[in-house]
Amino acid sequence: MVSGLHRPTKLVIDQQAIKANIQQEIQRLAPTTVLWAVVKANGYGHGMIEVATTARHAGATGFCVAILDEALALRQAGFTEPILVLGITSPAYAKLAATAHISLTVGSQEWLVDALPSLQAGQLAASLAVHFAVDSGMGRIGFRDTATLQAADTFLQQHAEFNLEGLFTHFATADEADTTYFEQQAAKFNQMHAALVSEPRYVHVSNSATSLWHAACNGNMVRFGVALYGLNPSGTALEPPYPLQPALSFESELVFVKQIQAGAAVSYGATYHAQQAEWVGTVPVGYADGWQRRLQGFYVLINGQACEIIGRVCMDQLMVRLPEKLAVGTKVTLVGENGGQTLSLQNVADYANTIHYEIACNLTERVPRVYLPEK
């Protein structure tokens, strides 16, 4: 996608905030526990390569991604640290992953059987590192009982083409106050872990929420994701043990200002009609940038004042009701601080009836990312 470098719309990413969030978490970890930064989905919309660079400076010793292509992009950018693909990769790409020293997630013995021929074909410099996923209650991927896990472990031990580097699970309710289901999952994982014949190098169960509120379960590796970006995994349900610093701001400007009279309509479908004479500003941001149509009726900040988004959000533009006539070029804040007021991703998500993860990940590459340097 083309990046809009010649319009006044941008995401500003504070690399110092990312660094501070990681360092605060590392200070809480046991000396034997490492932190791997989760940079999937273009760094949750913040920019994968730039976030990974900052995370490495902050003390992250490895990375987690969702798909093999993200891992390969990190390798192509020069990252030599361990990388784990959290999703299931086709066995057809096992040799490619092994050649690039990328670790893959395995959730069945069948995957190992299907991957073996490609690993046996030709000379490999290293075995394929795998992490066994345990489905302790998430219901997504992984081994669900000790018998199948043990069988896969036995198969792996019989084939030097594989190296059992890790064992992990993912909790469904680590960000909730009620810990009943969390404890059931933890018990299931511990049972499965005990059934392994061999002990992998990494045993990891903690995403951001687990590490923040259930640190006793951390194992020797933490997958630090959404909190890295300064976002509370629970939304507003639980308070984190230390202040998280949001890294992302979303800014634009007024590009057109006009006065409309009472009864005049604004935007597609004529869903908004002015109740009186009003000043209206146009902002060059739309749903093609990830600012969804359902945000009609929400607001932006201009000169520290909340200005309602009126009419439907268009593909490339939206309109706001102004308190008075303002100059073209006046700064508009969609996320961040403006005039002493703050508009957060959580505020946006609450209005859109979703989670801040979705809002951040939906911000498209058409919006340029500008990076404030680390201190």
Q: What angle do CA 176, 294, 5 make, to 5 degrees?
A: 100
Write down the catalytic residue from 40, 95, 299, 371: 40
- Residue 325 annotated in active site: no
Strand partners, 204: 168, 219
**Residue showing tokens 């308070």:** 239
**Residue showing tokens 């919006």:** 367
Residue 315 is labelled as binding a ligand? yes
Gap between the Cα atoms of 178 and 368, Å rounded: 40
Residue 140 is labelled as binding a ligand? yes
3-state helix, strand, coil in the chain (%, to 5): 35, 25, 40
Closest of 234, 353, 237, 373 to residue 295, by C-alpha: 353
Gap between the Cα atoms of 262 and 275, Å rounded: 5
Write down the catalytic residue from 44, 93, 95, 268: 268
- Residue 93 annotated in active site: no
Q: Which residues contact 110 (CB under 8 A, 6 or more apart)?
A: none
Q: Where are the alpha helices (DSSP H) in the chain?
A: 15-28, 40-44, 48-58, 68-76, 94-99, 109-120, 146-157, 180-195, 208-213, 345-352, 356-362
Closest of 202, 26, 239 to residue 105, by C-alpha: 202
Q: Cite the active site residues.
A: 40, 268
Residues annotated in a binding site: 140, 315
Residues annotated in a binding site for substrate: 140, 315
